Amino acid sequence: MVTSPKAAVIGASGIGKHHAKWYTREGCQVVAFAGSTPETLERTGRAMQDLFGFTGRGYTDVLQLLEAERPDLVSVCSPHHLHREHTVAALEAGAAVLCEKPLVWDVTMDRSAMLAEAEEMLAAARRTGKLLAVNTQYLAVLPVLKQLYQEQVGELERIGRLSFEMESKGGVSGPNQWDEIWIDLASHPLSLVVGWLPGCKLDESSIRCLIEQDQVTACFQVDAPQGRCQVDIALRNVREGTPQRRVGINDLVADIAGRNDEQGVYRTFISAGERQLRGDDLVHTCIRAFVRAAAGQGEPLASGEEGWKNLDFHLAIFERAQRAQG
C-alpha cells in the first residue's frame, strides 16, 4: 500500500496556506502547521479549513511539530530571519524542505553573515541527505517564454538583455515600501537571471540601484558563458488596480498575469503580442516539482545552491543601493 507523503507548513498565515493547499492537490496529507500564537493558530486553521478542508493540527513550537508529526515535506514560510533555524531543524528531523525566498534575510546582519547562514542551510541538507529547495516560482515561466520567443523571434542563440517590471501591493503585514520592495520582490527577477544564464557572474562594478518610497530600480551586467548580458529591474508598490508583471528577453516582451479560467481555476497567463499561453498557478508548479524531486523524480525549480546564488546577487545589489530622500 502506497501512503501519501505527510506535509507541514511553518508559517501559514500568508503564502504558507497556499503551499498547504497545493500540497493537498498533489496528493499529500497536510498534517500540521506552525504559527506564532494560539490566536494566530485558530485564525489560520479556520482559513485553511475554508481554503481546502484542512483537518490537521496547529503548533506554536516548531520542534514539537517536527517531533510529533514527523512530516516528509516541510515548507518554511516563516519570517525571513527565522529561515535558517526552521530549515535546519526540519532537515535534521528528516524532512525535505522548500524554503520561501529570499533564502535568508536579517536586517541585523551584513552580507557575509547572511551568506554564512545560507551556507549552514546547504550544509545541513548535505549532512542529512535531504532535499533543500527554494520557492522562486517564476522559474516556472521559463519554458513558456522560450516557446514564445521561438514562435515570434526565432532560435534564442544569445541573451544580451533581460528586463523585468514587477508590481505588488504587499502582503499580510501591509504594503511594500522602501527596502521592503527589494527584499520581497527581487528574488523573482534574479531567479530568472540565474535560470536563463547558468554559470553567470555578477559584475559588481556595474551595479546601479535606487531605492525610493514606492519603487526600486536596479541595472547591472552579468558575464555568462555565451557573453555579457544587461539586466534592468523595476519593482514597484501600487495602491490601486491589478499589479503588473512583465519580462523582456532581448526584443521580446511578455506579460504574466494570474486569474481564474473559465472553470474558476486559478491559472497563470503569459502573453506576448496577440499570443497567449496558459499554465498552472506558479506556486502550484513549484510545489509539484518539489514533491516529485523529494520522491527522486526530477529536480525542483530552484535548488538550495541556486537560492544561495540568488541571495548573493540580491545582497550585492542591495549593498550598493542609493536611497532617495524620504
Instruction: Give residue-wise pLDDT tens across range 226-257.
Output: 999 999 999 999 988 899 999 999 999 999 99
Instruction: Give residue-wise pLDDT tens across range 280-322.
Output: 999 999 999 999 999 999 999 999 999 999 999 999 999 999 9
Task: Output the CATH code of domain 6-130.
Answer: 3.40.50.720
Please tell me which residue, 252 or 264, carries the higher pLDDT value.
Answer: 252
The domains spanning 6-130 and 137-323 adopt the same CATH topology: no
Q: CATH: 3.30.360.10, 3.40.50.300, 3.40.50.10800, 3.40.50.150. Which one for 137-323? A: 3.30.360.10
Domain regions of the chain by residue span = 6-130, 137-323
Q: In which residue are the cell numbers 493540527 written?
A: 57
